[in-house]
Each structure stands twice: as C-alpha cells, then as structure tokens.
Amino acid sequence: MTSNGGSAVADRPIQANSVPTTGKDGSSYPRDFQHVIAGREKRKIGDYYGLKNFGVNHTTLLPGASSAIQHSHKLQDEFVYIIQGTAVLIHGDEEIEMKEGECMGFPAGNGIPHSLVNRSKDNSVVYLEIGDRTPHDEVTYASVDLKAVHHNGRWTFQHKDGRLYEQAWVIM
C-alpha cells in the first residue's frame, strides 16, 4: 500500500475476495428496504485501489438474494459481468437468465429499471459491477417510494415527493 494524499491505496495485484465485504445484511438503503438485499456481499475493489472516476464492485449473491431494488440511474452508466453462477436479470418487465461469462450494460437515462436476483437454492452468483461516479446523479426505484440523489459526494435517500428518510444519507 502507498499513500495518495493521505489515503492508503493498494499498489499490487490482489485476490478480489481479500477485500472486506460491506456485509451480508448491511445496506445503505433506509431501514424499510434493507431486507431486499439480505444475502448480498459487496467488495468495493475500486475503492480499495483509490479509483475516483468509476467504481468496481466484486459482488456475491447468496441463494435467494437480490442485487438491489429494481432501479435506474439518470446520469450513471452501469455494467455487470457474471463470473460464477446463474442470475436472473430483471430488466423492465423482462426476466433474462444470465450465466457465467455473460454481461449487460445499463446506459444512463434510459429509465429501464433493473436488478439481479439469485433464484438458486444452492449456488451463489458472483459478478463484477462497474459504474461511473457522475456527480448529481439520481436513482429512481421503480416499485417503491424511494429515490436517491447524489450531491457533494453523498447519496441522500428520499421519498419520491422529496421528504428525507430517517436514515437520509450514505457515502457510497
């Protein structure tokens, strides 16, 4: 590790699974929505290397887990690549099976909500998710009263009418 303006930055290749997870049950979502991603283990490997312009997560979905509440970004592009297992991509009204080696991109502003679900009873799904870090992004969640707004390096969680949730912000 080296120092980069006061923060430690990795300067050697690593095994992705050596980066600590954000946890199976923890979430940045407001309390009422945290159950949706129970069983998701996310390793922020882009942060580990001090990447500033885009994020890279090495994510595991245990059987029955979901990647997120079905959502779409106003300004941020996203990309996923399945490393292991079979996931179901919920993409708008479609359900599409994604297997090892398959990938999918989600262009900013298209309004099509998406998420991944592991419907296996026995096997985990492991994938990479990559997204840019465009300031002032907004995330719309299709089926729930929730939106996220990025401002000054923070995400705030709001009701769709703009009222803040009790757990109103998180650094992601």
pLDDT in tens, 24-34: 544 678 888 88
* Of 102 and 169, the one with more pLDDT: 102
Say if residues 43 and 58 touch (Cβ distance below 8 Å). Answer: yes
Extract the tokens encoding 18.
């050596």
> Per-domain residue ranges for the chain?
18-134
Of 44, 10, 27, 19, the residue nearest 129 (C-alpha): 44
Residue-wise over 31-66: b if at least 16 C-beta within 10 A, else e?
eebeebbebbbbbbbbbbebeeeebbbbbbbeeebb
Of 41, 3, 52, 45, the residue nearest 126 (C-alpha): 41
Percent of the chain with pLDDT over 70: 89
Say if residues 116 and 87 touch (Cβ distance below 8 Å). Answer: yes
Extract the tokens encoding 37.
């991603």
Identify the residue whose tokens are 């590790």: 1
Say if residues 148 and 74 touch (Cβ distance below 8 Å). Answer: no
CATH level 3 topology of 18-134: Jelly Rolls (2.60.120)
Of 80, 39, 84, 89, the residue nearest 63 (C-alpha): 39
pLDDT above 90 for 71? yes
Average pLDDT, the chain: 89
pLDDT tens-place string over residues 110-160: 999 999 999 999 999 999 999 998 889 999 998 999 999 988 878 889 999
What is the residue-wise DSSP string for 117-168? E---SS--EEEEEEEE--TT-EEEESSSS-EEEEETTEEEEE-TTSPEEEEE
Average confidence (pLDDT) over 66-76: 96
Say if residues 104 and 32 touch (Cβ distance below 8 Å). Answer: no
pTM of the predicted protein model: 0.88
